[in-house]
Amino acid sequence: METNDSPAPDSDQIVLSRRELMAQRDRSAMQLAELDRQAEELRRQVAAYDAVLDLYPPARSDPGLTIREMAIRVLTEEGPMGVRAILDAIQSRFDVPVHRTSLSPILKKAERRGEVRHVGDKWEADAASAEA
């Protein structure tokens, strides 16, 4: 039996010369260099954004807190205050805008639950709420 080391002719076979392979390799290397340049530029942009973000105060929102929980926390830690002051404190501390029309009914419901008290024009946390 004879052994033939040369490959059988195949119409799906790709034949490239060394020069063609080197040219393709060089194109790929140039694309890689361009991607590296773009990646470096993106790294600089991200660093610049991070530097600017460092100038902002840290986010103070506590995800998952309800308006009621934020109001009670503010009243517990800052003492009695009016509705406008509560709204401002929630905005300042938690970075969450709350409308007066949302807070007032929540405070009334919390009062019925014994969590807050309405004294004059101020609201205050109930002593039991302050301990919780």
For the stretch 35-46, pLDDT in tens is 999 999 999 998
Which of helix, strand or coil describes residue 26? helix
Of residues 73 and 55, more confidently modeled:
73
Query: What pTM, to 2 d.p., does this model score?
Result: 0.52
Q: How far apart are CA 122 and CA 83, in angstroms?
A: 7
pLDDT(63) > 80: no
CATH entry, 67-131, from 1.10.3720.10, 3.20.20.480, 3.30.565.10, 1.10.10.10: 1.10.10.10
State what percent of residues in the chain have pLDDT above 90.
Answer: 62
On whether the CB atoms of residues 93 and 60 are closer than 8 A, the answer is yes
Task: Inform me whether the pLDDT recorded for 1 exceeds 60.
Answer: no
